[in-house]
Amino acid sequence: MLTLFDKISTLKDKLADTPKGQPKQSLKPSKADKTSPSPLQKASSVLPGYEFLELIDSGSLGKVYKAVKKSTGEVVAIKQIKDAFRNEEVAVQLVREVQILKKLTEIGSPHITRIHDFKVSEKADRVTLYIVMDYVGTNLLDVLDNSEALGFTEEMAIKVLYGLLCSLKFMHEANIVHRDIKPQ
């Protein structure tokens, strides 16, 4: 996503490249720029009960947004998975993961990120899955990468490891094996 600074720099470059004798391009946004909804606006239109605040992360499977549930003011994370059902194998895996998350949420554990809601959006030939989850705010990798600056002590490491082990125990008691544990 381009920042305002990037947009201004691009426009300045376009103006600088205009040959002499030709009219300079306008710095005003075009009509198309005014009417094209931003990715946040597009996502908000699918889940109108949420106000999308910012893009947190983007990867090969989709994007994660920080949002607020309008009715409660609760801050949540919303995973957007585009082309969620592009093939049967991926579709089965995603449905299974959502079912597992819902099951774990219903059982309840302070060490598991809860799923609040999910929605499937179909537009043209694209299917997008939205999963509304607890907003955590950071991840273990960021904490570890900045451990010196944060004053990350051995006692803190023990608490983090204890929470991780409690979540694994909770999942195993629910007959779930997590095969993708990572600090992100």
* Catalytic one of 13, 17, 33, 180: 180
Residue 125: what pLDDT? 72
Query: Is the distance from CB of 116 to CB of 76 less than 8 angstroms?
Result: yes
Of 34-38, 81-85, 88-92, 119-123, minimum mean pLDDT range: 34-38
Beta carbons of 174 and 107 less than 8 angstroms apart: yes
Rg over alpha carbons for the chain, rounded to the nearest Å, is: 22
Task: Please state the rounded mean pLDDT for residues 100-129.
Answer: 82
Question: For 21-34, what is the mean pLDDT?
Answer: 43
Domains of the chain by residue range = 28-136, 138-184
* Nearest in space to 42 (alpha carbons), one of 70, 8, 78: 78
For the segment 140-165, what is each residue's pLDDT rounded down to a tens digit?
888 888 888 878 888 988 988 898 89
Across all residues in the chain, what is the average pLDDT?
Answer: 75
Residue 134 designated active-site: no
Longest CA pairwise span in the chain (Å): 76
**Distance (Å, rounded) from C-alpha 157 to C-alpha 5?**
40
Q: Which of 8-17, 44-53, 76-85, 89-98 has the lowest mean pLDDT?
A: 8-17
Residue 3 vs residue 82, higher pLDDT: 82
Burial tier of 83 (Cβ tally within 10 Å: 0-12, 13-18, 19+): middle
Q: Which amino acid is at 116?
A: H
- Report field, pTM of the whole predicted structure over 0.85: no
Block residue for tokens 């570890």: 144
- In the predicted structure, residue 15 carries a pLDDT above the cut 80: no
Whether pLDDT at 9 is above 50: no
- Please report the pLDDT score of residue 48 as a whole number: 87
Q: What is the mean pLDDT of residues 34-62?
A: 78
User: Region 9-35: what's the mean pLDDT?
Assistant: 43
pLDDT classification of 2: cutoffs 50, 70, 90: very low
Average pLDDT (84-112) is 80
User: Per CATH, which fold does 28-136 belong to?
Assistant: Phosphorylase Kinase; domain 1 (3.30.200)
37: pLDDT confidence band, cut at 50, 70 and 90? Answer: low
Q: Answer whether residue 7 shows pLDDT above 50.
A: no
Q: What is the dihedral of CA 24, 27, 28, 32, to 10 degrees?
A: 80
The 10 Å CB-count burial string (b at 16+, else e) for 102-132 is bebbeeebeebebbbebeebeeeeebbbbbb
Mapped onto helix, strand or coil, the DSSP state of residue 130 is: strand
